[in-house]
A and B are shown apart, each in its own frame.
Chain A
């Protein structure tokens, strides 16, 4: 069964350092999402891609966060500099996004701890 891949699974970094997360969506899925999940809460959208284009980054803290999906396949989310409040689970999800197909499938996430 096809799955969304993410790495690393866990990351510990000091505040003010740079950190990057990688996501490989299910093959053929045109839409890719990055969500952030704070402990005890539901995931919240950071950025959404349709192929290589950003569709929605209204909730992305652009002063420190950046995301790219250069070839419309895998994606990287970067934080620079990291702050203590960035400690969270970063989830990647993908979807076929063809009319009538709505399902979003999530990867295992990257647990970020900022010290």
Chain B
């Protein structure tokens, strides 16, 4: 089955700096890669996703890149703000819309004001 590895496990940045979180996956059949933000005591919130036919996707301060050959994808947050502080999870699935997600272990992002 799929295995997703995520790093770093913790990341501390100054407000206004950029943050990058990286994930690798093992199953070449995976073609859907979402990112979730989870705040304390809440469920994961989908913030951005990418399909395998796209190399990069951007939504305001958030961008995701995908390298299918190397089987890795990354989340980039620019101009970080204190409210970006949370745990971020990457995930992968075979992506027909009918399969469960395999999640990474999470990155705790702390944005220092």
Residues of A within 8 A of B (CB): 4, 6, 31, 33, 35, 40-45, 48, 50, 55-56, 91, 95-109, 111
Contact = CB atoms under 8 A, between A and B. Distances in A.
Interface of B: 4, 6, 32, 34, 36, 41-46, 49, 51, 89, 91, 93, 95-101, 103-106
21 contacts: A4-B43, A6-B43, A31-B97, A31-B98, A40-B105, A40-B106, A41-B106, A42-B89, A42-B103, A56-B100, A95-B97, A96-B97, A97-B97, A97-B98, A102-B32, A102-B49, A102-B96, A104-B46, A106-B36, A107-B43, A109-B42
A109 B42 CA distance: 7
Contacts of B101: 43, 45, 104
The 3 closest A-B pairs by CB, nearest first: A42-B103, A106-B43, A45-B100
Contacts of B104: 42
Given A42-B106, A43-B103, A99 B43 contact: no
A104 B105 contact: no
